[in-house]
Amino acid sequence: MGFLTIFLFLVSALYSVKAGTLSAVANAVTECGSSAVTLVIGMCGAMAVWGGLVNVANESGLSELLTKAMKPLINKIFKGLNRDSKATNAIALNITANLLGLGNAATPLGLSAMKLLEEEERAGDKPTKNMTLLAVINACSLQIIPTTVAALRLSSGSRSPMEILPCVILVSAASLLVALITAEVLEGGR
């Protein structure tokens, strides 16, 4: 991938020299770098707020209540798991983080859940059905509050960054449903 990036950069630079637009490219690189730093700082603020709320939820026991509320659904989707296992708890926390649109928080939780599933189900070299379902649910997660996208929209100057909420819920629910059906159909052939 690094080779491809360098190749594309060199081809673009050579073309801009030939076309006489090297100064425009240099200006664009500088402006984009500045915009990227501004975006990252804005995102850090939003993620810090939501990350703090997640910590408050963990400390207050709200996460545990959400986990308990989600266990019946998780046990219907993830067949054969012990209701009180560490993997079930990790899956519930991961799904909760995804529901809140906290992709940055959901990723480590998902990795932890996957590792616990691998240990509990003695997966070996091939993923189990539950591991496949967890990967699918993470890739097509239902989002009730699209925190990251709203923070991106806000940092880009949107006056109402959450106006996309109905569309996000509808599309993420539809993609999750299609992904779960597809995984079930394809898994049935194994």
State pLDDT tens for residues 69-128.
888 888 888 888 887 788 888 888 888 878 777 767 778 888 889 999 888 888 778 888
Contact 72, 118 (CB under 8 A): no
**pTM of this structure:** 0.66
Q: State residue 129's pLDDT score.
A: 87
Please give the structure tokens belonging to residue 90.
């990790």
Instruction: Give the pLDDT band of residue 190 (cuts 50, 70, 90).
Output: low
Is residue 174 pLDDT above 90, yes or no? yes
Rg value, the chain, Cα:
21
- Give the domain extent around 143: 2-188
For the chain, the domain total comes to: 1
